[in-house]
Amino acid sequence: MTKKPDFDGTYIMFPTGRLTLTEVQQIFNTIPFEIDLIDHTDHFTYFSDKPNREHVRSVDELNETVAECHPVRVLPVVMKIINSFKDGTKDFVVRPLVMHGHRVFIQYYALRDVDGTYLGTIEFTGSAEPILTAYENGGWADAASGASQAVATPTVDATSGASATEAAPAVDATSGASETEAAPAVDATSGASETPTDSHQPGPFTYDL
């Protein structure tokens, strides 16, 4: 059903409805996550104008190349993500991070047109706190018993006291900023990572950058 949109001067006509330009802008600014876009020429061309952003952006950064808006040390990692989207080996990379003292969920997607042509790399960043807090407080309780589903907690090594869950530094694909990232779980018997290998299926997480 997906078709290319059309603009008649007043409305943008989509297969599923119509929106004015003002409505489009305010939808982008209202949805509960930030949007950042690097276009197909590797220029930073758009960010949603939300208050209290996790990633602070400035209009002065617009139209900078990926190389201009990233530190040299992280540029190879950023370009690996973008190039994997361009060549079709990946369609998304997702990362659970801790930023500014709270939990966020960042999703990087290859932006493509209806024919599959690469248009750019889009980043969605949103707070995971409302969902996680609801779950931890008993949300999605068993409908029959009213019992809350168990919340997993990290195991602790009895000899060292070290938590089995460790944080690893992550890189923001648009800003290059390092944050804290949860490491993928490992099967205790085989040592195999639970990270999915098929980057074209919705995950839970992909870390193989």
What is the per-residue pLDDT across 96-134, written as a single tens digit (0 to 9) for each?
888 888 899 989 999 999 899 999 999 999 889 998 989
- Considering the chain, what is the average pLDDT of its residues? 75
Tell me the pairing of strands 167-171 and 17-19. unpaired
Q: What is the pTM of this model?
A: 0.64
Give the CA distances from residue 150 to residues 135, 139, 142, 153, 154, in Å, rounded to whole numbers and listed in that order.
9, 11, 11, 9, 13
Q: Which of 167, 183, 168, 179 is nearest to 55 (CA)?
A: 179
| Range in 40-44, 149-153, 182-186 the model is least confident about | 182-186
More confident residue, 37 or 186: 37
Give yes or no for residue 75 having a pLDDT over 70: yes
- Model confidence at 204: pLDDT above 60: no
Q: What is the CATH number of domain 12-137+168-182?
A: 3.30.450.20
